[in-house]
Amino acid sequence: MKRMHLMRTITLLLCAILIMLSFTACSKPVESPAPAETPQEEPQEATEKTPEDFTGTLTFWHFNNDEGPKLAEAFMAKYPNVVVETQITADTDLAYQNKITSAIRAGSGMPDVFAAENAFVKRFVNLPGGYANISAAPYHAETLVGRNIPYTVDIGKDNSGNIKALSWQACPGGVGYKRDLALEYLGTDNPDEIAAMLSTPEKILETARNLKQASNGKVKLFVGTEDLYKIYVGSRTQPWVKDNKLMIDPKMMEFVDIAKTLREEGLEGGIRQWTPAWSAAVADDEHVAYAIPTWAIQWVVAVNAGDEAEAGRWGIATPIPYYEGGTWAGVSEQSQNKELAWEFVKFLATDADHLRDWAKATGDFVNHLDIVDELMNDSDFVNKTVDQNTYQVYGPMVDKIDGGLITQYDDQMRVAFLNIMQTYLAGNINKEEFLQEFKDQIQADITDLIIE
């Protein structure tokens, strides 16, 4: 009897402790420091310091193994007494985003600086405890970004208008095409003439049909409809979400219609983006065009085209202004070394010498207006992959990009829209069902959104 009593007491005690622990864990975030407007350790004004004066080690998280280490190397080359430890986590199945979210929630383990790409940067600039507010003292980011392309600065701001992250790139987009196929089947490889052939949905369809006829059905205009999605989504006039309401821009329905026609008439390759088949098709003789924003010349064309990339097989036309992609970086709220972290972010986004070197070394389209002007007028600055001065090609589109189009929901919208559209394109649902299914999915994904 006594033993039973003891056992019961122990069991009750254990349960009570566990329940208390669970509620403690629930309320743990309350105890976490609120996202401070001013950092815990205020960095010193660094204007008088030379790069050699900075010492220490920074941790830097990035999602791309091609870019992250190079950014760190560039910083270490100029700041010889600083070590940047880069950790790359690919965002496959949202691994990178979940890693950051978990570390923020845990209140420890965050790096000093972390990068975010266009698809999810808006979530992190608005996530409490993520990026430090670099509009505030002692950073005063606004005073340094006067020569950065404005839309790139806007995207790095949170919903209150504070700058949280900065970018070094602008990503206007064009249509990349294989010159040899274009010349053979469309009669020209001139970028302006190709742009004219693709400037409206009607002209895209006409060009795709001409191409099919000229090649006896062997060659298709676009590798897949998802490449067209990039163009259309980047050329909308309203964001996916406005005043907490789902907005389906007319451009998106225009895209659905043209994608359906292209699919039904066999005018596109049907290959989904980022699949091995999509990468392999860069080097084939069956697909002419891809959506190629600035960064994709290097990371889609050059890396997949093999030796032909050097031969200038590809050209870039700019029929419809749009943009896609870009990477931002900011100082982590949890960083214990904010002065150095800020120096790194500042270097990446505003150091004109570095940005010039970076553009020349990687072919990237940097977002510093002075460098853009300089390289647009540099006759020697020719990208070997496309045999064009990419700053002359993309530069005129920079003013047309609206940073306000980006919302924190864009990635969820993209995934839902493109997945459900596959069922529509396969002919298993009609357009109304597609739209309803998309709205239902978004309502399930983003429960607070108002959907009409």
* DSSP code for 38: S
Of residues 120 through 179, those in contact with another protein by CB under 8 A are 123, 127-129
3-class DSSP state of 134: coil
Residue 93 as a binder of another protein (CB under 8 A): the answer is: yes
> Between 21 and 137, whose beta carbon lies closer to another protein?
21
Residue 270 as a binder of another protein (CB under 8 A): the answer is: yes
The distance from CA 258 to its chain's CA centroid, rounded to whole angstroms, is 25
Nearest distance from C-beta of residue 427 to another protein, angstroms: 8
Nearest distance from C-beta of residue 411 to another protein, angstroms: 9
Q: Considering CB under 8 A, how many residues would be counted as binding another protein? A: 47
Nearest distance from C-beta of residue 426 to another protein, angstroms: 4
Query: Do 43 and 68 meet the contact criterion of CB atoms below 8 Å apart?
Result: no
Beta-strand ranges (E) seen in 231-304 are 241-242, 245-246, 287-293
Nearest distance from C-beta of residue 43 to another protein, angstroms: 22
Which residues partner with 383 through β-bridges?
388
Of residues 414 through 433, those in contact with another protein by CB under 8 A are 415-416, 419-420, 422-423, 426, 428-429
> Between 55 and 423, whose beta carbon lies closer to another protein?
423
Give the C-alpha separation, 82 to 77, whole Å: 9
Of residues 17 through 46, those in contact with another protein by CB under 8 A are 18-19, 21-23, 25-27, 29-30, 32, 35
> Between 50 and 444, whose beta carbon lies closer to another protein?
444
User: At residue 244, what are phi and psi to the nearest 5 degrees?
Assistant: 65, 20
Q: Out of 12, 13, 77, 94, name the contact with another protein by CB under 8 A.
A: 94
Residue at token pair 């999602």: 63
Residue 217 as a binder of another protein (CB under 8 A): the answer is: no
Q: Which residues contact 52 (CB under 8 A, 6 or more apart)?
A: 79, 80, 81
Choices 37-45, 62-70, 263-271, 368-376; region in contact with another protein by CB under 8 A: 263-271
Segment holding 21, helix H or strand E: helix 2-31
Q: Which residues contact 410 (CB under 8 A, 6 or more apart)?
A: 118, 119, 122, 240
- Of 182, 157, 179, 181, residue with least CA distance to 167: 157
Residue 378 as a binder of another protein (CB under 8 A): the answer is: no
On the 0-12 / 13-18 / 19+ scale of CB atoms within 10 A, 191 is: buried
> Between 355 and 416, whose beta carbon lies closer to another protein?
416
Give the C-alpha separation, 377 to 169, whole Å: 19
> Between 389 and 412, whose beta carbon lies closer to another protein?
412
Q: Out of 74, 104, 195, 405, name the contact with another protein by CB under 8 A.
A: 104
Residue 179 tokens, joined:
């010159």
The footprint of another protein (CB under 8 A) covers: 3, 14, 18-19, 21-23, 25-27, 29-30, 32, 35, 93-94, 98, 101, 104-105, 107, 123, 127-129, 269-271, 275, 277, 412, 415-416, 419-420, 422-423, 426, 428-429, 437, 440-441, 444-447
